[in-house]
Amino acid sequence: MAKIEGKEHPSVGLFRDYLRIRTVHPNPDYDGAIAFLEKLSTEVGLPYKKVEVTPGRVVLIVSWEGTDPKLKSILLNSHMDVVPAFEDQWRFDPFAAQKDEEGNIYGRGAQDMKCVTIQYIEAIRKLKSEGKRYLRTIHLSIVPDEEIGGQNGMKKLTEHEAFRALNIGFALDEGLANPTDAYTAFYGERNVWWVIVHCPGSPGHGSRFIENNAGEKVRRVLNSFLEFREEEKKRLNSSKCLTLGNVTTVNLTTLKGGVAYNVIPNELIASFDIRIPPTEDLQAFEEQLKKWCQNAGEGVFFEFFQKTMSDKLTSTDLSNPWWNAFSSACREMDMTVQTEIFPASTDTRFIREMGYPAIGFSPMNHTPILLHDHNEYLNEKVFLKGIEVYSHLLPTLASVSHLSGEA
């Protein structure tokens, strides 16, 4: 799908229009995004419905019915919301979708993940315009609140009767850019543990050596957590076989406490963002956290602000018909695909937890990873190539023949 001579390709124009809708937290314009996507779906001839999964939070479901709608469907998931941008650090206004002389389109959500939503729809538009129709139904779920944990977005959708009615067999969701010639497919993702460690202690005057104080305890906590962090960092850097998704990351994110410069506080609180591969023994790691707290001193304890406990992985063995279809389509396009565990978290975890095979995939190669970063951009040629990729992938997935257990 080459650039139309003398003017911008209409698919690129749609992508830029979508980027301009300020679906940025804390007050995302979901109404504007849904109205835009409704109009686009109508233009393509795709029926849609809106599902309010929780008060004020609506999921848009767009469908392209297959020739045998009783068979399990393909789900294409994406999210509308984007994270805030520090505008003074950007080359261009992050919500203007400015394109530079090299065809790089700057905008919050350019990679994460408004590009994919438009690529899904434009690939289906292309296939429909050619008179194509396939065995299995394809559904698009376009959800809110992924960037703040997905609890009122995809999580609520998976609990809704509308989700069960989709009769899903396989799902695609977001991935990451790849700076090389290859593409990356994610078959699992790390568990997110946001841990709050409370270090109570004896208060007193700042001029004295107070025993059992909170400062000494929080120091021991920090030493234990961050020494483990260094071990995992060294393990990652010393092995060419490991990616970020294969190791556990620990990062100190907040420190709270204290009332005055000359008063030893009665409590200090440290918070950590911990990401754990699904291949690790999660119960054993939790026991390790308990030991670190016990060793830090009397009364030290931790609690979870967020905790996922999933060991769900999507098989990348060719015996899995869905992966076989995905990978064969990529081979036909001469695409090199690297398989990894996703280092952060996406809505895909909710889909896998329901028992559905799912792959995280965003067709962006020759592109630096810039999600949540300053000057997030995607080149228009890479964007248009992604539509071609989906135009080949979707027919292959939607043409997977009857599977065992299907009517």
Is 161 found in the same domain as 47?
Answer: yes
Q: Residue 6 has what pLDDT?
A: 54
Q: Residue 331 has what pLDDT?
A: 98
Rounded CA-CA distance 284/99 in Å is 49
Please indicate whether residue 376 is annotated as part of the active site: no
**Torsion 306-311-312-314 (CA) sign:** positive
Asked if 202 and 226 count as a contact pair (C-beta separation under 8 A), the reply is no
| Domain contains 318 | no
| Domain contains 19 | yes
User: In this predicted model, what pLDDT tens digit does every residue of 40-54 receive, in sequence order?
Assistant: 999 999 999 999 999
Is 300 found in the same domain as 370?
Answer: no
Give me the phi and psi of 220, to 5 degrees please.
-65, -40
Tokens, residue 314: 């999507």
Q: How confident is the model at residue 407 (pLDDT cuts 50, 70, 90)?
A: low
Counting residues of the chain whose pLDDT is more than 70, the rounded percentage is 98
Asked if 275 and 249 count as a contact pair (C-beta separation under 8 A), the reply is yes
Report how many domains make up the chain. 2
Location of structure tokens 């289906």: 124
Q: Residue 4 has what pLDDT?
A: 43
Of 349, 345, 329, nearest in space to 337 by CA: 329
Q: Is residue 357's pLDDT more than 80? A: yes
Is 61 found in the same domain as 151?
Answer: yes
Q: How confident is the model at residue 406 (pLDDT cuts 50, 70, 90)?
A: confident
Is 203 found in the same domain as 133?
Answer: no
Please indicate whether residue 159 is annotated as part of the active site: no
Q: Residue 1 has what pLDDT?
A: 45
Q: Residue 308 has what pLDDT?
A: 92
Looking at every residue in the chain, the average pLDDT score rounds to 96
Is 150 found in the same domain as 27?
Answer: yes
- CATH number at 266 reads 3.30.70.360
Q: Is residue 300's pLDDT more than 90? A: yes
Tokens, residue 238: 């010393």
User: In this predicted model, what pLDDT tens digit does every residue of 63-91 receive, in sequence order?
Assistant: 999 999 999 999 999 999 999 999 999 99
| HSE toward the beta carbon, residue 396, CA cutoff 13 A | 18
Is 44 found in the same domain as 104?
Answer: yes
Of 303, 290, 215, 235, nearest in space to 227 by CA: 235
Determine which one of 112, 122, 146, 347 is catalytic. Answer: 146
Tell me the pTM.
Answer: 0.92
Is 167 found in the same domain as 56?
Answer: yes
Q: Residue 7 has what pLDDT?
A: 86
Cis previous bond, 80, omega within 30: no
Could you list the residue range(s) of the whole structural domain that residue 70 is in? 10-175+346-398
62-65: long-range contacts, CB 8 A cutoff, minimum separation 24: 62/37, 62/121, 62/139, 62/140, 62/142, 63/137, 63/138, 63/139, 63/140, 64/124, 64/128, 64/137, 64/138, 64/139, 65/137
* Higher per-residue pLDDT: 400 or 6: 400
Q: Residue 2 has what pLDDT?
A: 42
- CATH number at 31 reads 3.40.630.10
Counting residues of the chain whose pLDDT is more than 90, the rounded percentage is 97
Is 109 found in the same domain as 37?
Answer: yes
Of 84, 94, 47, nearest in space to 69 by CA: 47
| Domain contains 403 | no
Contacts with 184 (C-beta within 8 Å, 6 or more apart), sequence order: 175, 176, 178, 337, 338, 339, 340, 361
Contacts with 108 (C-beta within 8 Å, 6 or more apart), sequence order: 19, 24, 82, 83, 84, 85, 94, 95, 376
| Domain contains 2 | no
Q: What is the mean pLDDT of residues 97-126?
A: 98
